[in-house]
A and B are shown apart, each in its own frame.
Chain A
């Protein structure tokens, strides 16, 4: 079966690797120092309206997971700012399978800070906040050192401070970010007003993922045409991905968005075709193994062809001997426990779905239970103040499709003989609080 999958189509996938954000000194050297960063990339130009146009031409989409056009988000804040707004470099990375944001911050803090300062200059912000999860110690250390280097070198830029938060899946949602930095819990808020209307201190706030900001730092220096040398028309550039599960060398990789999943998997060393893969993390989509080799990373191809999205760039490969139903139930249970506890449909709906799926996973359920789960999934969609319930059921819904054949064994009394351990990294324990 493995051989069949591997010989379908061209024998060798196109090279997927890219070296832009992670170019420069070896990873073992730790964070790139300011002098080396400036020597390698040259001085950064000053931000302004020109950069908004350049970002529009580049087609850069937000790498926090939504791929929203960066220039549009900036334009919304810029038109309301009048010199009083805030830029947040969001590195909180609540997705348990993702490591790309904190890896980027650990290795290239100045690239991220350059991007954040460019954003501040372009939208007219008076302050930059770097937002980190408390557990990301190396990333915090790298940013703190980098800020010290910039101060010592007398770099002219708006004040930059660090705010940390307890690890929570939704702590990085933009309205939760605003609430936390304003001194509250990292829980989402009702919109309007959205952060771009009224955020930190009542001022328009731009919350931007750190990888997006790092791309901006390069686009500002090299231009939008350079950015488009990689990727496709609809999904230009490169992106960071976290590969995990059944791969030889799990970790963070920078890939060309013109690549196919098969080429990406080769970077991390394919062990076997695997049973399926989860693309986009816990809010993502399960994809059957036979679709993977020639699956493009291009957003339109993923969306129209497979109802999937690259999301935060996680690709987790499930080994053939592991059970996808058990893993899907485990993920939805984790997400149910990660609710902020604010919205009834999310609190009660995800809890009911998780409890029933746990019984399905241990083969203690009947087919009518799955019908109820499907009904609840339709019922909770779009009914939270944030997308938490929607993301949780997107993952589960695709699992019920991809593992449909095996689901029968969980429901008709045969029982599941597959391995319960997926080999996916386990999520960190969340602190009790929301700060």
Chain B
């Protein structure tokens, strides 16, 4: 029952060019596939450090392809 809404990382695969910074910044949640595109663990991020890394990855994606989405607002 955390007061802060849970978030998870998601990539917009249309914008993503496989630059790969994200996998270096959040290796705990992202690895690159055989073609250099990020595979993201879709779990809700609870750990503070992990969330800080995730935010940094979002801010550093040169294609603006990475987003942190609120789990309630995921559209499902």
Contacts and interface: CB of A to CB of B under 8 A. Distances in A.
A385 B37 contact: no
A118 B7 CA distance: 40
Contact of B14 (A342, A349, A376, A379): A342
Nearest to B65: A190
Interface residues of A, number: 18
Interface in B1-60: 12-18, 33-37, 39
Contacts of B16: 343-344
A177 to B, nearest CB: 17
Interface in A356-399: 376, 379, 383-385
A198 B38 CA distance: 28
Given A345-B33, A352-B34, A376-B34, A383 B14 contact: no
Interface in A160-209: 189-192, 194
Given A349-B35, A352-B34, A379-B34, A384 B75 contact: no
Which of B13, B36, B39 is packed against the most chain A CB atoms within 10 Å?
Answer: B13
Contacts of B13: 190, 342-346, 383-385
Contact of A349 (B12, B17, B33, B73): B33
Contact size range, B: 10 to 19
B12 A345 contact: no
Contacts of B37: 344-345, 348, 383
Contacts of B75: 191-192, 194
Nearest to B18: A344
B14 A345 contact: no
Contacts of A190: 12-15
B39 A379 contact: yes
B12 A385 contact: yes
A346 B33 CA distance: 12
Given A191-B75, A192-B75, A194-B75, A348 B35 contact: yes
A408 to B, nearest CB: 26
Contact of A345 (B15, B17, B35, B73): B35
B14 A343 contact: yes
Nearest to B74: A192
Contacts of B12: 190, 385
8 contacts: A191-B75, A192-B75, A344-B18, A344-B35, A345-B13, A348-B34, A383-B37, A383-B39
Given A190-B13, A344-B35, A345-B13, 6 more contacts: A189-B14, A343-B14, A344-B17, A352-B35, A376-B34, A379-B39
Identify the 3 closest CB pairs spanning chains A and B, nearest first: A343-B13, A348-B35, A344-B37
